Amino acid sequence: MTENDTLQEEEWKEKLTEEQYRVLRLKGTERPFTGKYWNNKQKGIYYCAGCGTPLFDSSSKFESGCGWPSFSNPIKDSKIKEETDINFNMRRTEVLCEKCGGHLGHVFKDGPKPMGLRYCINSISLDFTPKNKDEK
């Protein structure tokens, strides 16, 4: 059973901020260059803001110029799921948290080699924990 199965929408509204709810549960998008992590250069792990699942390591983060945090790959493919998004007269691949079903962003095929993917993720969908400076 996932967290998505256990929480009702009213419980999500209580758990998340209004903006987190709009993005994670209603599939919204934050404006580019406004999120708290789009320009974060610290080393660490990015987690789902809805359920705490580890999603991306900072080692896969890169500057794409799009205004949202961009990653070349998730920590594990099993931590995310992808669905076709045909909203706004576009065909895109939506990225969701596998555990809670929260909307994270989209993945595009214009990223760095070798994978060639750009996971374009809303900062509001993420929490970040920096790596301990003593860790290698």
Q: List active site positions.
A: 120
In the chain, the N- to C-terminal Cα span, in Å, equals 35
Cβ-contact 48, 55 below 8 angstroms: yes
DSSP state of 24: I
DSSP output for 86-113:
-GGG--EEEEEETTT--EEEEEES-S-T
